[in-house]
Chain A
Amino acid sequence: MAGRNPGTELELGWISKVYVNRPAVVRHAEQIKKWKTLKGNWQAAWLLKAVTCIDLTTLSGDDTPSNVQRLCFKAKHPIREDLLKALDMHDKGITVGAVCVYPARVSDAVSTLKAAGCNIPVASVAAGFPSGQTPLETKLAEIRLAVEYGAREIDIVISRSLVLTGQWEGLYEEIRLCRAACGEAHMKTILATGELGSLANVYKASMIAMMAGSDFIKTSTGKEVENATFPVGIVMMRAIKEFYWQTGYKVGFKPAGGIRTAKEAITWLMLVKEELGVEWLTPELFRLGASSLLGDIEQQIFYHVTGSYALQHELAMA
């Protein structure tokens, strides 16, 4: 990932004149959803692109080494080999973007992937995921541990209270410290947009997170009531574009939570292409946080290749 975003000084001027008109953004999102469809090989290629951008995720209280292990194998073989061969994509290294787990499961994932001879990064949520309501010291310690366990990507959550009370300097400092704690590991900053109150706050929090050196900004933890919605995504991507215009650094975007169908995944890719441009359609700059999405995509690809839908046992479970 050349040109990692080093962050900037805190430029409050960039967020002092931020206005977001919700009805207009919502209408824009609806128009995109309505008219875009892909067919045939185009659909297959876009679905495979979506696969390479998936952060295959399990974030449950009952995660154990065994289901994490299963997830890792699925991450390495997201689509059945013969299906890929039929599409002439078997030698293109189609794996998911990363495996995303809780800090306590990082070692399991890392060792499984290592044993499988696979270079997929392990991402760990950290910093008091999902609520962010832990002391800063704990957050930083958690990040350091996750990195120590072998996580190459850290998905931190922000303190929503800092946004809701308008403490932008405090938010900047907190994220900056997290970034320092991440070291070489790439940092995705979860804004938890469903809890930020307004789209303008989403835009401002996005800008602050990027100024503080985030490599990615991410919509939600998947635990809020409102997850990744298209209007929120549009606003975050517009902030990413503005940051790119201001600094020349490309920050990645990760919608997460509630993305379950292949159709939704393609709409997200379309939206990224429209708002940010085709150069953002790579795992270095775009990820989809999802757990059950992959199953639907594989099903669609199965149908595309064979002309019929797969029986349950024909596709390996994650």
Chain B
Amino acid sequence: MAALAALGAPPVPEIFATMEEGPVPGEINAGEAWLESHGRSLGHFVGGTWLKPPGRVSLACPESSTGRTLATVPAGDSSDVAVAVAAAAAAAEAWAGLGGPQRGQHLTRLAAALAGERRGAVGALLALAGGRPLHRTLGADLDLALRLLRAPAAAAELGPPGLEGWTPLGVVALVLGGPCSLPALLWKLGPLLAMGNTALVLCPAAAAPPLLLLGELSREGAALPPGVLNVLAGPLELCQALRAHPEIASVTFLGVPQEELPALVWGSPCRGPRLGGPRGGRVVVVVLDSADLDSAAAAVVASAAAPPALFPAGGCVVLAQDAVAAALEQRLRARLGGLQLGDPTDPKTEVGPLPPGTCPPEGVVQEALQEGAQVFQVPLPPLPEQEHRFYPLTLISGVAPTSRCLREPAPGPLLVLLPVRSPTEAVALASALPQTAAAAVWAQDITMALDTADRLPQGLVWLNALDLLDPNGGCAGGAADTDPDEALREFGCPPWEQAPKVDELLSPLVAVDDPGDPELAHAVAAARGAAPGWGRLPGASRARVLRGAAAALAAAPGTPADGGGADGSLQGALLRWAARLERGGGAVQDVPGGRALLARRPLGVLGVAWGWPRPLALQLLLPALALGNALVVVAPPGGAGSAERLRKALVAAGLPGGVLTVLPGNSRGSGSGLARHHPDGLWLCGGDADCDWASAVSVPRVWGVPAGLVGAPRQDPPPGAERELELRCTRPHCLWLPGGAP
């Protein structure tokens, strides 16, 4: 009873009358305890130990819900960056030399350390600093984080197929724009370490405490050798110091707002830092008239309360078929009212404060109100502190797609409900929404559900579920359209990075003007029109076109009879890709709670800028065409004859007009010109086909094609190149089908 009195609990009769649930008391917050053990004064974690440079300004690490200072970290500066890079570089050789199986075991040990007795501290710190409720940071988030470590660990241990001969990049920097969830970090960090790179994580002070603990954990039980994982707290501007450092092989940005990127990144998108990480984004939920409305409402409300770990700060847009929109809204309102909002470190809390560094979405909500929308808000419960960062749960309905709440993802527990007339209209709206990371379809009618899910452009689609993530199920599908296979490639150097020795004379470049904007616009528009039809054709039909073209080229006058020469190898390549199409692809993966169908979809419109001083390698275009993309190619006129021959042969064999356009041009920056027309992907071949970052950020996938990949004429492409090309001209499409589990 003494213990009870100490809790300050109301008497039993009072609780009996109100049936309140009360707090979960007693336990000391493990995160606070860890901070206390460091005297609330942390350092950087470099070279396997704490780095506390003297005489530095201290930065405060605030608590997400109140702004109270949890701890301080020294403000990192360029000298700290130098020390950290040196530590990472010193560890790089030994780490790379360990070999995959050994590295895999190290990563497994790191996962064990994370899942061990310190998990409470990690979860509590993530809740304190990031504002995600404890039941997520200690529950689903941690489970996913562990999977995101163990999956690349397993890949390293087994030796990933198709990555023979790949080497690590060296020292890779991960730059966090703001506090990000643990899964979002490990989603990059796991593959990075598994490939044999060493890491330097640069994070703002607000996000530092849990990551510094991760650093400390990496030394526990010697999970990672010293220097393999270094954590540095400092402002985003420290990127300047990274920029100047010659030993940084690659930089990946996580959670940096898109508009800030051009100011931070440098060089060319293909040779400089790599863009990656969840760019944020919303989840679109399509609720059709055969949906289990109660379950859909429960799932939507849960993901509004705590967005999926890889798409933080996104919000949720619900497209409900007219027949069920009202019933769904009623259910959403009822459930929103029942959510518990409060201190994220309380295990009962379902909704935490706004993510740090975000503004309350008040402006968006007010604007919606002025437009005549219905705004339903759950009043905030009485909160102890004056200074708090909570925003009430909000449901906006009755807005048009032009409204700002649909144009811009707003952070916070915000739901927007939009009625649609049909599944087709739902797909159209879901395709037109900016910055969507994933989608869900709710319908019990299996045909209707599959038809709808298949047409959604999002890379990750859940059927009758929301917020299920696993690396095996292409969990990052929505975030940056990367599957686990690609995740490893992102941090490796392929064997064909170096250009092959070409003994023939390079064709002299003929100076021509780049295609004008109207010309490009015309070509891209034609490609955009033709792409869906071509991309949706069955593989066998596209194979027929390729084989037809090969036959036409063989019969064309001027072809050497022995089948040699450039045209001969082109025919061979056409037939090879036709064969690949006939074979098909795709996979089924077991995932928690069911299975996921993994397929690869064409990107859509692919821009290719050719800048190497030799004729356009037509073999490079074939996989992109074969796998269903429409191409706009800018290349110097040298060798234009064979390109035109190929195009004619393809068109004669049934290639729809607009799918392949080759325009003459070769001045520097032809890539930028293409990028400004927003293709779905951009291949930059050679330094002369450069592209500036300001243009590139609008293109989802930019790839600097390594010179060695194309091979010299009359030379077979290097082994593994075909797989690489296949991945580069397609994106994963993951469809989760829950069910079947007990």
Contacts and interface: CB of A to CB of B under 8 A. Distances in A.
Interface of A: 17, 19-25, 27-28, 31, 34-42, 44-46, 48-49, 86-89, 92, 238, 241, 245, 269-270, 273-274, 277-278, 281, 304-305, 307
Given A24-B465, A40-B4, A48-B16, 19 more contacts: A19-B291, A19-B293, A20-B294, A20-B444, A21-B292, A21-B442, A23-B741, A24-B738, A27-B593, A39-B7, A40-B9, A41-B12, A42-B15, A42-B22, A88-B11, A273-B19, A274-B338, A278-B18, A278-B19
Given A19-B444, A20-B295, A35-B139, A40 B7 contact: yes
Nearest to A277: B338
Contacts of A31: 302
Contact of B290 (A19, A269, A304): A19
A50 B465 CA distance: 33
B140 to A, nearest CB: 9
B12 A39 contact: no
B295 A21 contact: yes
Interface in B301-349: 302, 330, 334, 338, 347-348
Contacts of B289: 17
A40 B299 CA distance: 31
Contact of A39 (B26, B295, B464, B739): B26
Given A37-B347, A42-B22, A24 B15 contact: no
A89 B21 contact: no
B502 interface: no
- What bracket does the count of chain B residues touching chain A fall in? 35 or more
Of A19, A88, A270, A307, the most chain B CB neighbours within 10 A belong to A19
A247 to B, nearest CB: 15
B594 interface: yes
A244 B289 CA distance: 22
Contacts of A48: 12, 16
Interface in B283-299: 289-296, 298-299
Given A21-B295, A48-B16, A281-B19, A41 B10 contact: yes
Contacts of A38: 21-22
A28 B298 contact: yes
Contacts of A241: 334
A34 to B, nearest CB: 7
B4 A245 contact: no
Given A42-B22, A245-B330, A273-B19, A24 B464 contact: yes
A36 B18 CA distance: 17
B25 A21 contact: no
B1 interface: yes
A304 to B, nearest CB: 8
Given A24-B299, A92-B16, A35 B9 contact: no
Contacts of A87: 12-13
Contacts of B465: 23-24, 27
A37 B346 CA distance: 11
B12 A44 contact: yes
B561 interface: no
Contact of B1 (A39, A49, A86, A238): A86
Interface in B1-59: 1, 3-4, 7, 9-16, 18-22, 24-26
Contacts of A20: 292, 294-295, 444
B274 interface: no
B12 A21 contact: no
A161 B300 CA distance: 36
B15 A21 contact: no
A238 B11 CA distance: 33
Contact of A42 (B20, B294, B347): B20
B529 to A, nearest CB: 38
Nearest to B302: A31
B135 interface: yes
16 contacts: A19-B291, A21-B295, A23-B738, A24-B738, A27-B738, A28-B299, A35-B139, A37-B24, A39-B25, A40-B9, A41-B9, A45-B14, A48-B16, A88-B11, A241-B334, A277-B338
